[in-house]
Structure formats: structure tokens, C-alpha cells
Amino acid sequence: MDDLEAAYGLLWAVLPAGWDVARPVEHVENGYWVSYARDPHWHKGTATPPYVEAIGPTEPKAIVELARCITEALAGRVPK
């Protein structure tokens, strides 16, 4: 998926209420983008992860990967 608007639509659909999303950062020297979301209310013992990070070759793909990783993490699986 290379459409930025569609990628964000997918992310907003899976993002838990209250989570923050950082603007994706391009790592030009390495050829990838990093996207990141966190639960600002996380505390030790909470079932959900405190943050999720994803990497993709483009900004939209990093956002789609973040959505996939959030879905996996919330289901109790370790995203790969």
C-alpha cells in the first residue's frame, strides 16, 4: 500500500483509544522509515504493550506495518 491516507486509515482503525502516534521518521542513510505508537497510560502489569515500533521501505508501508504490529501485539503475539 503506497497511499498515505489509506495507510493512516488502516492505522486509526486498529489503534487503541488513548494511544499516541509519532510522525514517521525517514532514515535516508539506511533506506527505511520508522513508525511508532505508544500507550501513554501504560504501567507495569498492563496486558497491552507500552509501545510498538515498525519499519518499512516507504512512509505508507511503515504505517501499514505499524498497524499490523499493533494488531499482533494486542492479540498477545510478538510481531515479526
Please spell the DSSP secondary structure of 28-41, one letter per residue: TTTTEEEEEEE-TT
What pLDDT, in 10s, does the model give residues 33-47?
999 999 888 777 776
Residue 62 has pLDDT above 60, yes or no: yes
Where does residue 66 rank: exposed (0-12), middle (13-18), buried (19+ CB within 10 A)? buried
Domain ranges of the chain: 4-74
Residue 2 is predicted with a pLDDT of 61
- CATH label, 4-74, candidates 3.30.160, 2.40.160, 3.40.50, 2.60.40: 3.30.160
Tell me the backbone φ, ψ of residue 40, rounded to 5 degrees: -70, -10
Residue 42 is predicted with a pLDDT of 76
Residue with the bigger pLDDT between 50 and 12: it is 12
Which residues face 34 on adjacent strands?
Answer: 25, 55
Span between the terminal Cα atoms of the chain, in Å: 19
Residue 51's pLDDT band (cuts 50, 70, 90): confident
Using only C-alpha atoms, the chain has a radius of gyration, in whole angstroms, of 12
What's the whole-number mean pLDDT along residues 1-16? 91
* pTM for this entry: 0.87
